[in-house]
Amino acid sequence: MAEAQPNILFTREAIRRRVDELAGQISRDYAGKELLVVGILNGAFVFMADLIRGLNVPCRVDFVRLASYGCGSVSSGEVRITKDLETSLAGREVLIVEDIVDTGLTLSRLVGVLRERRPASLKVCAFLDKQERRRVPFTADYVGFSIPDRFVVGYGLDYDEQYRFLPDVCVLDQVR
């Protein structure tokens, strides 16, 4: 069987331009404040690394890792924290950074959990948004690109832990 070949959806140049725009918008929105940027492992680490280097406001970083309960690729919607934050959110301006919003289950649950920790504000920046796949309503405050329901890899996104290192976002529809 032929190995799946990824096709480029967003080039590294297009990604750089869009991430710079997002960083500019976030910097304007948080002018005069300090941000706590929370990355969701593993997928968000590439996007987050580029995003924070475009910011003009001071920021701290922290990471959370989640596991969703469910069978195979079907999520039950329950989200368990397997690596928690090490920073208190109380009184901080918190920006969650995620690689992709798909069903919306992960972020809607995580936002609920983190709100209980009384941040001064809590917003979400997602690199990709697959709105067609939503199972629960969820709208990110900042979105890099809205995409159709295609299986994408690269720039941090994986298929079975492969392809995260690709600098471009590629379509890998053959796996569906």
Residues forming contacts to ligand PRP in the complex (CB under 6 A) are: 40, 42-43, 75, 98-106, 158
- Whether 102 is a known active-site residue: answer yes
Helix, strand or coil for residue 23?
Answer: helix
Q: Provide, rounded to whole angstroms, the least separation between the CB of residue 79 and ligand PRP.
A: 8
Rounded CA-CA distance 68/79 in Å is: 5
Closest approach, Cβ 107 to ligand PRP, in A, equals 6
Query: Which of the 8 DSSP states describes residue 89?
Result: -
Is the Cβ of residue 26 or residue 100 nearer to ligand PRP in the bound state?
Answer: 100
- Rounded CA-CA distance 47/132 in Å is 22
Least distance from C-beta 86 to ligand PRP, angstroms?
A: 19
Spot the catalytic one: 102, 129, 149, 160. 102
Q: Which is nearer to ligand PRP, 29 or 158 (CB)?
A: 158
Give the residue among 125, 115, 121, 110 at the shortest CA–CA distance from 55: 125
- The DSSP secondary-structure symbol of 132 reads G
Query: Phi/psi zone of residue 153: left (φ > 0), alpha (ψ -120 to 50 degrees), beta?
Result: beta
Separation between Cα atoms, residue 63 and residue 87, nearest integer Å: 9
Q: Which is nearer to ligand PRP, 12 or 134 (CB)?
A: 134
**Which residues are the active-site residues?**
102
